[in-house]
Structure 1
Amino acid sequence: MRSLDRMTLRERALVALREAILTGRYGPGDHLGEVEIASQLSISRGTVREALRHLQQEGLVTPGVRGMLRVRSLTDEEVDELFRVRCALEGQAVAEIVESDQLPHLVAELNAALDKLEAATGDLNEQLEADLAFHAQLCELSGNSILLDTWRHLEGPIRVVVMSASSENRRFPMSAGHHRPIVEAIARGDADTAVRVLREHMQAAVTLLTAQA
């Protein structure tokens, strides 16, 4: 029972800290003190330490001064590198989907993800979740588990970048309309066009997310 309680506490700390980072309550560069967090959540420092270690693996947290962990902060160059790597992964996913003998079924799945993205007309968090869900689906449908796992490791930093951008630039092209040409090209078996549109989409995102307020 104590082992179960410990896991429950760790998961509760992990969820609370992840939410605090992804909603901007902890901003990029903010230090994450174990004592303060343990007091706020009424849990042990050891439990907090385990949660922070997990968030470090997700790419949301990074070591700072004297080993104290802080919310990850990316330079403009790192944001560009992040989205170029992301584009390379998703481009490979496109190529593998187009080559699949299940192409009609996979296109139907992508269109369903587009429908959810189109329905996400609420706040930024809802739109961001739907946008990332579409891109995760793209990678998952490739059938390449290593590709999907690698993309998942980029998801945390992507969220931090979006939430730390100036408020007017956070809503980079996340609409279904910006994604539909990718799916249409995939449906035609035109991987080159799908990748070109995907690259333009990523470049537009970087331009907005790194723009000064």
Structure 2
Amino acid sequence: MTSTASLPSLQTQNLREQALVALREAIVMGSLSPGAHLAEVRLASDLGISRGTLREALRQLQQEGLAVTDGRGRLHVRSLDARMIRDTFRVRAALESLAARTIAELPAPAKDSALRSLEKALEAMSAAEDESLHVRLEADVEFHRTLCRASGNEQLLKTWEQISGVVRMSIMFAGVERARQNVAVARHREVTTLLRESPRDLEVRMTAHILDVLDDFDLELDD
């Protein structure tokens, strides 16, 4: 008889993922407001999970930048300010522009494969258009994750993941209507077109594509 003692608990993994999705949505969509204390006992009780499972989900939220600790080590929902939004989008633009240039310079078979993965992500975005704004936002995030992953640069992808939470919050910071516009499929199809054509100014145009979103925010910050 084969022992299954070393196999992970599917139920525990599923609960952890469900908790992560629920908490992420609550933070991004504002049910858990910026600065709110993420109290383990209360959250574990609300979600019906153990504190150990909750801690695993909270660690992921920290890695994504959605949760931060204060001077006393207590975990809170991140609060955004103008500088953080602007700086995060500048880093995002640098990462995704590099990803785009890397993909554009791949040999034909590898580039075609990358474009197919992006087209698949676009199809998922199209399928989500009648879903909730949060579902659409997550489809948007997955498109950009796919772009970074397709570059084959693991450090680039890892760095992008670390700002993905702030990017989510920033998109919603601009308001519901502007968020809907920013996660529109048409905007993202422009990216695949750029990659397919691979113009000499690809990185400049990718940077502009990402930083244009900052025009939707009321950011009062001197350079």
TM-score range, shorter chain: 0.7 to 0.9
User: After superposition, where does 1:39-118 map in structure 2 within 5 Å?
Assistant: 39-45=45-51, 47-64=53-70, 66-101=72-107, 102-118=110-126
Deviation at residue 211 of structure 1 after TM alignment:
6.0
Q: Which amino acid aligns with 1:181?
A: E
- Bigger drift between 203-212 and 86-95 goes to 203-212
Q: Which amino acid aligns with 1:140?
A: R
152, 171, 174: which is aligned to 2:180?
A: 171
196, 200, 206: which is aligned to 2:208?
A: 200
Q: Note the alpha carbon deviations across 1:88-128, whole angstroms, 9 max, x for none.
A: 11111111111110223333333333333344322322321
Unaligned runs of 5+ in 2: none
Residue in 1 aligned with 2:171?
162
Q: Note the alpha carbon deviations across 1:121-142, whole angstroms, 9 max, x for none.
A: 2232232122222211111111
Aligned partners of 2:93 and 2:211 also within 8 Å = no
Aligned partners of 1:165 and 1:209 also within 8 Å = yes
Q: Note the alpha carbon deviations across 1:133-188, whole angstroms, 9 max, x for none.
A: 22111111111122112112221221122334433332243223223333223212
Distance 1:67 1:159 in 2: 24
154, 157, 162: which is aligned to 1:153?
A: 162
Aligned partners of 1:32 and 1:70 also within 8 Å = yes
Unaligned runs of 5+ in 1: none
Number of residue pairs aligned between Structure 1 and Structure 2? 210
Distance 1:201 1:13 in 2: 33
Q: Return closer, same or farther for 1:40/1:127 CA change in 2, 3 Å cut-off.
A: closer
| Ranges of 4+ aligned residues in structure 1 off by more than 3 Å | 3-16, 41-51, 209-212
What's the % identity of the aligned pairs? 41
Question: Normalised by the size of structure 1, how large is the TM-score?
Answer: 0.82
Question: Normalised by the size of structure 2, how large is the TM-score?
Answer: 0.78
CA RMSD of aligned residues (A): 2.8
